[in-house]
A and B are shown apart, each in its own frame.
Chain A
């Protein structure tokens, strides 16, 4: 028995050592196309992060500029376009905009994600750290259109995402509803500073849907992105140069990351 216990302890200790060493090294391992993830062993022990995260909810939101007739920032931007599967609809056209206007565009599509999925994780913050964007486009809410007591259930996650974005200028693209929601659009609109929310559900916006009934078809997605970009240039709190490229112009984003649903 004692020998068996010794072996088990040795295995646990050796395993812990391996994962600790891996998590604290700069080594990046891949298996085919799959990145071997690191655990948080080292961070859990030595980072002051846990305490900061625990207290994070009491930290006030970062101050933002008031909207108004803000001057357009014509410099080339590094844009992080992140959110749920709606990003997949929008990024092809947005890539053309980025190319046409000289911006870098990093896209992260997390299928089936929600404000809760992002808001209970540091994924957004991690991508901000990874790509160091100076402009963020975020689209979330399409999977939360019909949740009851939405403010009670989701407000904290929206606030958390705003905290994670800090002072980086952003535009939150509201979901393109196919019918009335239970308040997600209002909630996000009231949570973000003026000029940072694009409402995609207005009487003058009609998008043809794919078979799932939710996602706009390719042509409609183009129109949607065109409207968003025009709005960013003319009405948002942080206008940047997004001159429309020719209709047929295509481009790829600087990098596209697809996150599988449910992770």
Chain B
């Protein structure tokens, strides 16, 4: 291979330029190379708050530009408008005017999200309904629009409710809204949690930097090794579900449940780790969801930042559980349907939300009688609760990737054509896949203190040990990875 400098520059230029098909995702080599340049400059500027913020905002906007091009201006405009509105809300003396500004902000935010994300969904449904032929719009949803829209709504609502003060200057708010670790796929970190940290601008401790790096590496392992590996089988199986047996489809369903967990929690780990390296606590987003013994618990462990957002900004404003049981069930269903629609503009997402809503309602309805009937400390009862919750959530998760007819095929075949005789041939043909599934299951039940201990050991280890760990992780990624980096599932939402 020749070392042609012009080719080198051409390749670097083409890698750095706007490319909607190649966003700057955290498990790509390009991101880490850029981060290598970013980190020392950030370290140097950290004590000079304004300069540091300008630098991070510029990097974040580039991060946005890389996948969404000039749509980064939309993010800038959103931040400017909502920063201005929040200030107006604070200054307005009358409730009426404050409510007016809040309405303007929410209409603009939801309207923009709706335009980019749901226009074609509405057009397609109108075409079906009216037998018309409206042409779909040529729209590309900007990176992370679902996530930053929810963050900006929570900021304005919190200012309206007097929970937080609006930021003194626009740069603070732009920094919060564009912060690149959470920009693309969350966590949906609240302004009330983030802005005080920005104001304080504490330097990260050595422990924060190394434990953040450790968590980011764990995220890379989850995403690039486990999720991508699981994903190739699920893609194939769900792609031609008619040709697979019930057993294979049930395995694919379980595989997808694990895939989406590893994919999204892996991304969250990377985001939270990077944030911690920069001195910001972004909270937690996943807490071993497949340990859950019921659906309510599942939602306290799965995508925590979204479920708590839906709880605080949809469920409780609708009345929560304060207006009687029927209204509570209605509120639950409405919240989960909105949550489903937030994930994507298609009916399978709505059904996904509905399926979870129904499960939550049933759990709320039956909790007391079932608790009386079955002792909660009985191991068999615990196991059955876990199994039912896992199977239910796994089949529900499948709706996030399969269209309705595929989902129906998968569900019917899984329950009517399930033959354990496939177990041995399946294991023989897909040994590595089975091993990885078993590992992920097992890791779910490792006590948290073991993870904390490992993190502490990494933090205290010699730099050479850290280097070896880093090299092993990257080599594992290369060893397991497809030749093209798989996009994150939640990036599509």
B456 at the interface (CB under 8 A from A): no
- From B12, B209, B233, B242, A5 is in contact (CB under 8 Å) with B209
With the chains together, A51 CA to B15 CA distance in Å?
A: 10
Interface size on A, residues (CB 8 A): 59
B453 at the interface (CB under 8 A from A): no
With the chains together, A34 CA to B479 CA distance in Å?
A: 10
A4, B233: Cβ atoms closer than 8 Å: no
Taking A8-B213, A112-B236, A262-B231 as contacts, is the C-beta distance between A46 and B1 under 8 angstroms? yes
Identify which of B113-121, B290-298, B323-331, B465-473 touches chain A. Answer: B465-473
A117, B29: Cβ atoms closer than 8 Å: no
Per the 8 Å Cβ criterion, residues 37-83 of A in contact with B are 37-48, 50-51, 54
Per the 8 Å Cβ criterion, residues 34-73 of B in contact with A are 35-36, 39-40, 42-44, 46
B467, A48: Cβ atoms closer than 8 Å: no
- From A48, A143, A212, B422 is in contact (CB under 8 Å) with A212
Identify which of B2-10, B171-179, B309-317 touches chain A. Answer: B2-10
Chain A residues positioned under 8 Å from B129 (CB to CB):
none
A47, B483: Cβ atoms closer than 8 Å: no
Per the 8 Å Cβ criterion, residues 238-263 of A in contact with B are 260-263
Chain B residues positioned under 8 Å from A1 (CB to CB):
43, 46, 203-206, 209, 279
Taking A1-B205, A46-B11 as contacts, is the C-beta distance between A111 and B430 under 8 angstroms? yes
B232, A117: Cβ atoms closer than 8 Å: yes
B243, A214: Cβ atoms closer than 8 Å: yes
Chain B residues positioned under 8 Å from A36 (CB to CB):
475, 479
A227 at the interface (CB under 8 A from B): no
Which of A5, A24, A213 gathers most chain B CB within 10 Å? Answer: A5
Per the 8 Å Cβ criterion, residues 432-485 of B in contact with A are 432-433, 463, 466-467, 470-471, 474-475, 478-480, 482-484
Per the 8 Å Cβ criterion, residues 233-254 of B in contact with A are 233, 235-236, 239-243, 245
Nearest residue, chain A, Cβ from B6: A48
Taking A37-B478, A46-B7 as contacts, is the C-beta distance between A144 and B239 under 8 angstroms? yes
With the chains together, A213 CA to B248 CA distance in Å?
A: 12
A143, B236: Cβ atoms closer than 8 Å: yes
Taking A44-B11, A111-B429 as contacts, is the C-beta distance between A263 and B467 under 8 angstroms? no
B210 at the interface (CB under 8 A from A): yes
B33, A16: Cβ atoms closer than 8 Å: yes
Chain A residues positioned under 8 Å from B478 (CB to CB):
19, 37-39
- From B32, B232, B433, A12 is in contact (CB under 8 Å) with B32
Taking A9-B39, A11-B470, A41-B29 as contacts, is the C-beta distance between A117 and B4 under 8 angstroms? no
- From A16, A40, A48, A85, B7 is in contact (CB under 8 Å) with A48
Nearest residue, chain B, Cβ from A177: B243
A121, B482: Cβ atoms closer than 8 Å: yes
With the chains together, A85 CA to B12 CA distance in Å?
A: 39
B421 at the interface (CB under 8 A from A): yes
Chain A residues positioned under 8 Å from B10 (CB to CB):
48, 51
Chain A residues positioned under 8 Å from B483 (CB to CB):
40, 120-123
A211 at the interface (CB under 8 A from B): yes
A3 at the interface (CB under 8 A from B): yes
B390 at the interface (CB under 8 A from A): no
Which of B210, B241, B245, B478 gathers most chain A CB within 10 Å? Answer: B478
Least CB distance, B312 to chain A, in whole angstroms: 33
Least CB distance, B203 to chain A, in whole angstroms: 5
With the chains together, A120 CA to B474 CA distance in Å?
A: 22
A9, B1: Cβ atoms closer than 8 Å: no
Least CB distance, A247 to chain B, in whole angstroms: 27
B206, A147: Cβ atoms closer than 8 Å: no
Least CB distance, B454 to chain A, in whole angstroms: 18
Which of B40, B240, B463, B483 gathers most chain A CB within 10 Å? Answer: B240
A187 at the interface (CB under 8 A from B): no
Question: Top 8 A-B pairs ranked by shortest CB distance?
Answer: A262-B232, A4-B209, A146-B242, A5-B43, A4-B206, A146-B240, A121-B483, A12-B36
4 further A-B contacts with Cβ under 8 Å, apart from A4-B204, A15-B474, A112-B232, are: A11-B466, A12-B35, A37-B479, A213-B245
Q: Would you mind naming 30 contact pairs between A and B with Cβ atoms under 8 Å apart? A: A4-B206, A5-B40, A5-B43, A8-B39, A8-B277, A9-B39, A10-B467, A14-B467, A19-B475, A37-B478, A39-B474, A42-B1, A43-B1, A46-B3, A46-B11, A48-B4, A48-B10, A51-B14, A114-B239, A121-B482, A143-B236, A144-B240, A145-B240, A211-B425, A212-B425, A214-B243, A261-B429, A262-B231, A263-B229, A263-B480
